[in-house]
Amino acid sequence: MVMADLDNLETYETLDRQRMLDRIGELPVLCERAWEMAMNFSLPDHFSQVDRIVVLGMGGSAIGGDLLSTLAISECRVPVLVVRGYTLPAYVNDRTLVIASSYSGNTEETLACFEQSLRADARVLAVTTGGRLRQAAEQQRTPVLLYDYKAQPRAALPFSFLTVLCFMQKLGFVADKSADVRETVGVLRQLSATLDKSVPLVSNHAKQLAQELFGRLAVIYGAGGVSEVAHRWKTQVNENGKAWAFYEVFPELNHNAVVGYQFPGELASRVQVLMLRTPDLPDPVKLRYEITARLLDRAGVAYRVIDGKGSTPLSQMMSLVMVGDYVSYYLALLYRTDPTPVEAIDYLKDQLAHSRIRSNIKNQNAK
The confidence score (pLDDT) of residue 267 equals 96
- Residues 242-271 pLDDT 10s: 999 999 999 999 999 999 999 999 999 999
Distance CA 38, CA 63 (A): 18
The confidence score (pLDDT) of residue 363 equals 65
- Residues 81-90 pLDDT 10s: 999 999 999 9
Whether the Cβ atoms of residue 68 and residue 76 lie closer than 8 Å to each other? no
Long-range pairs, 84-93, Cβ under 8 A, ≥24: 84/57, 84/58, 84/109, 85/109, 85/113, 86/112, 86/113, 87/112, 87/113, 87/116, 88/113, 88/116, 88/117, 88/120, 89/54, 91/52, 92/54, 92/116, 92/117, 92/120, 92/122, 93/120, 93/121, 93/122
Task: Give DSSP secondary structure letters for 21-66.
Answer: HHHHHTHHHHHHHHHHHHHT----GGGGS-SEEEEE--HHHHHHHH
Annotation says 205 is catalytic? no
- For the chain, residues with pLDDT lower than 70 are 357-359, 361-367
Annotation says 170 is catalytic? no
- From the list 255, 266, 290, 343, the catalytic residue is 255
The confidence score (pLDDT) of residue 354 equals 86
- From the list 170, 205, 286, 349, the catalytic residue is 349
Domains and CATH numbers, the chain: 41-176 (3.40.50.10490), 201-334 (3.40.50.10490)
Task: Give DSSP secondary structure letters for 158-176.
Answer: HHHHHHHHHHHHHTTSS--
- From the list 239, 242, 248, 309, the catalytic residue is 239
Annotation says 138 is catalytic? no
The confidence score (pLDDT) of residue 365 equals 61
